[in-house]
Amino acid sequence: MGYEDVDRPQAAPGRVLIQVAATAFNPLDATMRAGYFQKEFPIRLPHTPGYDVAGTVTGLGEGVAGLAVGDTVIGFLLMTEDGAAAEFVLAPAGVLTATPASIPLTDAAALPPSSLTAWQAPFEHAGVRAGQRVLINGAGGGAGGTKRG
């Protein structure tokens, strides 16, 4: 691992340039950088980790709608591209959403994976519909918890 200066990314069609306020470093970041999951998430080293991002929009690519320079956003970046462990990151507009006003921007970087899991698990994967009841077990960690024996 090392530090190096690189050119600031430029906004591209469908993409948003974000000045990073914070990112989260997840176990998957470490395992990907160690060379695991290459089949699922092919990355080329050197790779900038940090697929969770919170920051301020500083540039908009052609075709981006619904966002403006100065907006604060959070998002779950594409895992096969460089991440947010940098001063600036380029993100597809479709992976970003407004930062909740009640949460400090630097704390909001922890929201994307747990929020996505909280939505996707019951509604997209399990098909839960209005009127059904669900027991949520192990929701104490970032995306639930596991007990190892």
DSSP string spanning 38-63?
Answer: TTTS---SS-----EEEEEEEEE-TT
Confidence at residue 53, expressed as pLDDT on a 0 to 100 scale: 95
Contact criterion met (CB below 8 Å) for 59 and 11: yes
Smallest CA-to-CA distance from 23 within 45, 55, 61, 56 is with: 55
Domain positions in the chain are: 15-125
Position 147 confidence tier, pLDDT thresholds 50, 70, 90:
very low
Count H helices, E strands: the chain? 3, 5
Contact criterion met (CB below 8 Å) for 90 and 96: no
pTM summary value: 0.80
Tokens of 94: 């479709």
- Give one word for 79, left, alpha or beta, with left for phi > 0 and alpha for psi -120 to 50: alpha
Calpha distance 19→88 (Å, rounded): 5
* Model pLDDT for residues 84-126, shown as the tens digit of each residue: 999 999 999 999 999 999 999 999 988 888 787 777 888 888 8
CATH assignment, 15-125: 3.90.180.10
Q: For tokens 């996505």, what's the residue?
A: 116
- Can you give 102-127 as a three-state secondary structure string? CCCHHHHCCHHHHHHHHHHHHHHHCC
* Model pLDDT for residues 20-79, shown as the tens digit of each residue: 999 988 788 788 778 788 888 888 877 788 889 999 999 999 999 999 999 999 999 988
Would you call 16 exposed, middle or buried from its count of C-beta atoms within 10 A (0-12, 13-18, 19+)?
Answer: buried
